[in-house]
Amino acid sequence: MRKGSLYVFTGPSGAGKGTLLSRLREQDDRLFYSISATTRAPRPGETDGVQYYFLSKADFEEKIAQNAFLEHARYVDNYYGTLEAPVNEKLDEGYDVILEIEVQGAMQVHKKRPDAVMVFIAPPSFEELAARLRGRGTEDEEKVRKRLETAREELKQQDRFDYVVVNDEIDRAVDEIKGIFAARRG
């Protein structure tokens, strides 16, 4: 049986990572979407264990001390992380595992797992990114401003990734990512 490949998807908040990956999961049953843990509060419609594992700060920090994470990062006043055991289990079962994580977490994974395929999802422009974040209506202007400041720095790191996919049109971007999978699978 073929061992799965590990894919790390990152990019600024609002670039459309979740939308693209949701589309891909609907079309490819060989993908396992790793659920991250976070200390941020659930957004409307989010369920613990589905979109994220929602942990208290104390629980998260205990798992850091136990070295239970493949990666973890603090981003816009919250922790995010990927538990290592479920990722390795799914890879051994032959699934391609998708991590959707922040840039600093992606760099941690790259150090621990140089075999990981690193994919940066970029917005078509910074102005479009700002419009997407404000259009969500889920955060106040101060939080949007913080996300945009972080996004400016993240966008400068695109050249550190194996692939950069510009999410200017969803179907086109999905097809581009499918091409990356096809090339890896042979």
Per-residue pLDDT tens, the chain, 186 aa: give them. 789 999 999 999 889 999 999 999 999 999 999 988 999 999 999 999 888 989 999 999 999 999 999 999 887 789 989 999 889 999 999 999 999 988 888 999 999 999 999 999 999 999 999 998 898 877 888 989 998 999 999 999 999 999 999 999 999 999 999 999 999 887
Overall domain count for the chain: 1
Per the domain annotation, does 95 fall within a domain?
yes
Is the Cβ–Cβ distance between 81 and 73 less than 8 Å? yes
- pLDDT at residue number 62: 97
Distance CA 17, CA 20 (A): 5
Per the domain annotation, does 24 fall within a domain?
yes
Is the Cβ–Cβ distance between 24 and 30 less than 8 Å? no
Bridge partners (DSSP) listed for residue 8: 99, 118
Whole-angstrom CA distances from 169 to 76, 174, 175 are 27, 9, 10
Per the domain annotation, does 162 fall within a domain?
yes
The pTM of the full predicted model, rounded to 2 decimals, is 0.84
- pLDDT at residue number 109: 95
With the C-alpha atoms ordered 154, 158, 163, 164, is the resulting torsion angle positive or negative? positive
- pLDDT at residue number 73: 84
- pLDDT at residue number 149: 93
Per the domain annotation, does 71 fall within a domain?
yes
Per the domain annotation, does 92 fall within a domain?
yes
Per the domain annotation, does 148 fall within a domain?
yes
Per the domain annotation, does 175 fall within a domain?
yes
Domain holding 131, by residue range, is 6-185
Per the domain annotation, does 1 fall within a domain?
no
Is the Cβ–Cβ distance between 69 and 81 less than 8 Å? yes
- pLDDT at residue number 153: 94
Long-range CB pairs of 122-128 (<8 Å, 24+ gap) are 122/11, 122/12, 122/15, 122/155, 122/158, 122/164, 122/165, 122/166, 122/167, 123/11, 123/12, 123/14, 123/15, 123/16, 123/166, 123/167, 124/166, 124/167, 124/168, 126/151, 126/152, 126/155
- Here the CATH number for the domain that contains residue 85 is 3.40.50.300
Structure tokens at 63: 């798992």
- pLDDT at residue number 63: 96
